[in-house]
């Protein structure tokens, strides 16, 4: 682990080169006005200097509002080689020009996309960095098998309606990615890859704590925790709810997370799904 302080250089030159690519996974953690964690899928997150992180905006969404009200953020970047960088950063400014703006808009993903070109670049100062680490696939696979067993044997709550069947299917595919985020004691979002996570039912998410076990143990019981699940077809769903700690589910030790809020983060219309929001008429 490396921390960005007076003695540390943060991201290495090799990190900056390796992450200046279109095809990677990026997750941004922000804090709502109520102090709750929120996660956003942003593949444009990358370092542009040892202690500077940028990301590009091409759609609207809640994270862009939250970061202007509370500059404390967390981030996670995963390469196609399943190497992971995690850290904390403070939002500094946003710009509609400059070298980073030009860099984003010369990438094929944005240069040739008539609808989703980068129109604003956000800059964040690095506060803490957990440098390049390989995703522990052996532990991930064993934890996923244990979670699957718990899902099969665990008691289901048939009364909950928070997560629809599409969302449950997305999370229960073992090769899809899932991430957890919570607000730590310093007020920054902490983000963890929890690929083994699955939906026990429409109201509860479970995950055996094999991979990143120590980090999972650090999540306070009763904390509000956000979850982002995604496929490589860029389908994703965000939930938030109370973390119930490690419990026995079908005889298997699992972290248990309630689903109390569900958000569709996919363009063109990001919006809250659960609890349902009443539609408001427009008067002319």
Domain spans, the chain: 13-134, 137-264
| DSSP code for 155 | P
Beta bridge partners of 257: 205, 243
pLDDT of residue 111: 52
CA 282 to each of CA 62, 271, 279: distance values in angstroms, whole numbers, following the listed order: 22, 18, 10
- What radius of gyration do the chain's Cα atoms show? 19
CA 268 to each of CA 59, 236, 280: distance values in angstroms, whole numbers, following the listed order: 8, 13, 19
pLDDT of residue 104: 84
Options 2.30.110.10, 3.40.50.720, 1.10.357.10, 2.60.40.180; CATH of 13-134: 2.30.110.10
pLDDT of residue 113: 53
Cβ-contact 177, 193 below 8 angstroms: yes
pLDDT of residue 119: 86
Nearest to 195 by CA among 215, 217, 171: 171
pLDDT of residue 281: 53
Domain spanning 137-264: which superfamily?
Electron Transport, Fmn-binding Protein; Chain A (2.30.110.10)
Tens digit of each residue's pLDDT, the chain (284 residues): 444 443 457 999 999 999 999 899 999 999 999 999 999 999 899 999 999 999 988 777 788 899 999 999 999 999 999 999 999 999 999 999 888 888 888 876 655 554 467 889 999 999 999 999 999 999 999 999 999 999 999 999 988 889 999 999 999 999 999 999 999 999 999 999 999 999 999 999 999 998 888 999 999 999 999 999 999 887 999 999 999 999 999 999 999 999 999 998 776 667 888 998 765 555 55
pLDDT of residue 2: 45
> At 152, which helix (H) or strand (E)?
helix 137-153
Nearest to 16 by CA among 52, 55, 41: 52
Same topology, domains 13-134 and 137-264? Answer is yes
pLDDT of residue 268: 62
Nearest to 192 by CA among 75, 79, 67: 75
pLDDT of residue 71: 98
Report the Cα 112 to chain-centroid distance in Å. 26
């Amino acid at each position: 682990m490396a921390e960005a302080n007076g003695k540390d250089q943060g991201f290495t030159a090799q990190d900056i080169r390796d992450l200046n690519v279109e095809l990677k996974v990026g997750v941004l953690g922000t804090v709502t006005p109520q102090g709750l964690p929120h996660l956003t899928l942003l593949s444009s997150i990358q370092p542009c200097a040892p202690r500077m992180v940028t990301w590009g905006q091409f759609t609207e969404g809640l994270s862009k509002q939250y970061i202007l009200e509370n500059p404390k953020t967390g981030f996670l970047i995963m390469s196609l080689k399943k190497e992971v960088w995690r850290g904390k950063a403070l939002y500094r400014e946003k710009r509609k020009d400059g070298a980073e703006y030009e860099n984003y808009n010369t990438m094929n993903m944005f240069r040739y996309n008539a609808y989703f070109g980068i129109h604003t670049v956000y800059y964040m100062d690095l506060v803490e960095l957990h440098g390049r680490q390989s995703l522990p696939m052996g532990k991930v696979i064993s934890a996923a098998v244990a979670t699957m067993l718990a899902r099969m044997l665990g008691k289901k709550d048939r009364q909950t309606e928070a997560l629809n069947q599409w969302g449950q299917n997305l999370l229960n595919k073992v090769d899809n990615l899932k991430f957890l985020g919570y607000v730590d004691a310093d007020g920054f979002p902490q983000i963890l890859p929890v690929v083994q996570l699955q939906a026990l039912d429409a109201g509860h998410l479970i995950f055996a704590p094999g991979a990143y076990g120590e980090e999972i143990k650090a999540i306070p019981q009763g904390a509000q925790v956000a979850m982002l699940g995604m496929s490589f077809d860029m389908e994703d769903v965000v939930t938030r709810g109370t973390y119930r700690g490690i419990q026995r589910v079908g005889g298997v030790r699992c972290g248990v997370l309630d689903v109390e809020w569900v958000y569709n983060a996919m363009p063109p219309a990001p919006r809250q799904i659960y609890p349902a929001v009443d539609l408001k008429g427009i008067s002319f």
